[in-house]
Amino acid sequence: MQQLFKEYNVSHKLLFVTSRFGSRKDEVVSDDDFLTGLLANDNQLFFFLNGYRYAGEIPGIFQGETASTVEVVKYAMNKKYGIEGSTGQYEIPESKAGDNLLTSKIEVNFQVDNPLQLNVKRNLKCTGSMKEDYWSLVLYEDWDKEMREELGIEQTLMEELQENKSTRKQIDEYVSSLEDRKKTQKDNVEMELTAYHGQKPNKVIDYSFGAIGTAINRPSLDYTVSYTLDGLVKNAGNNLVLEIGKLIGQQWEPDERDEKRNVEAYLPTAIQLDYEIEIEIPEGYTVEELDALPSVYSNEFQAKTIILKKL
């Protein structure tokens, strides 16, 4: 990438930084304690271990850190240090809560033949650090498809493998491997739902990615999952009681030891959580106590908004 910047006369510097969760700059003992990146035009960062982020997106583990920079004048492997150039520092900016946004739209209806069981459709749109929680659900093929669309490549990965003689014979092996990874993906989807609700879903019906957030013009991860769930609805005479708060996931309940913690705990970045919940009310029922539910919570580290709709 440095060579590419040089060819197109883009001002750039090599950048060395430590994770905010790892060794401090004065504590490093090996090259592995540093991560290398490029700083272009003194305002855009490119990291080489970037996960499913778009080019130039800054990982939360480096935000707020002071990085060391080198503007390379000469590079030679046969010299003692290899790189010659002027050095400096760069303050990596920190993102705001709105840059790390989880927007969750949850559509719920009661099964006609069993109103104690819910049909749930959950759509998540995530930006910034909020995308990282769902990377375990992404397949390489999801990334490949998005990159081909972004680059205007009409040929699919499978078509490319079939076209090339050297890879054509590997197609069966690739298909078998893909099926294994899809099975693992399905298991991961169920695990995510189990962690979210604190219980297994009855059945995962469908799941898909509209985008994974690797293109700068589509920076959000867009994930939808549909499933059925027990345990949130109870009978109360002729009434149904829905524990609506559990639709936004189980919440951490600190015990006495947690409340007296002597180790600092903090989020990797400031975050914002927005929930929109649509509930289809069964025929013959009305709603009570909806207005009593809190809908907004915020502090300097986190903002949470909940919008409830009844259909």
Residues 48 and 106 reside in one and the same domain: no
* Residue 143 domain-assigned (yes or no): no
- pLDDT beyond 80 at 232: yes
* Residue 42 domain-assigned (yes or no): yes
Q: What is the mean pLDDT of the chain?
A: 86
Residues 20 and 111 reside in one and the same domain: no
Residues 82 and 208 reside in one and the same domain: no
Q: To the nearest whole percent, how much of the chain has pLDDT over 70?
A: 86
Residues 131 and 270 reside in one and the same domain: yes
Q: To the nearest whole percent, how much of the chain has pLDDT over 90?
A: 48
Residues 123 and 268 reside in one and the same domain: yes
> End of a domain among 91, 119, 152?
91
Residues 130 and 224 reside in one and the same domain: yes
* Residue 174 domain-assigned (yes or no): no
Residue ranges making up the domain that contains 242: 97-137+194-310
Residues 275 and 245 reside in one and the same domain: yes
What average pLDDT score do residues 118-144 get?
A: 95
- pLDDT beyond 70 at 299: no
To 5 degrees, how large is the angle CA 68–CA 74–CA 79?
95
Residues 129 and 45 reside in one and the same domain: no
* Residue 151 domain-assigned (yes or no): no
Query: How many domains, the chain?
Result: 2
pLDDT given for residue 74 in this prediction? 63
pLDDT given for residue 165 in this prediction? 82
At 162-173, the pLDDT tens digits run: 888 888 888 988
Residues 219 and 298 reside in one and the same domain: yes
Phi-psi region of 100 (alpha: psi -120 to 50; beta: other; left: phi over 0): beta
Within 10 angstroms of residue 147's Cβ, the number of other Cβ atoms is: 13
Nearest CA to 75 out of 86, 84, 87 is that of 84
At 67-111, the pLDDT tens digits run: 999 887 666 555 555 666 788 999 999 999 999 999 999 999 999
pLDDT given for residue 76 in this prediction? 57
- CA distances, 308 to each of 77, 192, 236, 270, 292 (Å): 62, 23, 22, 24, 12
* Residue 34 domain-assigned (yes or no): yes
> End of a domain among 56, 91, 126?
91
* Residue 154 domain-assigned (yes or no): no
Residues 109 and 202 reside in one and the same domain: yes
* Residue 165 domain-assigned (yes or no): no
* Residue 182 domain-assigned (yes or no): no
262 touches 210 (CB < 8 A) = no
- pLDDT beyond 80 at 296: no
185 touches 204 (CB < 8 A) = no
Residues 113 and 52 reside in one and the same domain: no
* Higher pLDDT pick, 297 / 191: 191
299 touches 272 (CB < 8 A) = no
Residues 33 and 116 reside in one and the same domain: no
pLDDT given for residue 12 in this prediction? 85
At 255-287, the pLDDT tens digits run: 777 777 776 667 789 999 999 999 999 888 888
> End of a domain among 91, 110, 128?
91
pLDDT given for residue 89 in this prediction? 93
Model confidence, pTM? 0.85
Range scoring the smallest mean pLDDT among 81-90, 119-128, 147-156: 81-90
At 10-58, the pLDDT tens digits run: 888 888 898 888 777 777 777 777 888 889 888 888 887 777 999 889 9
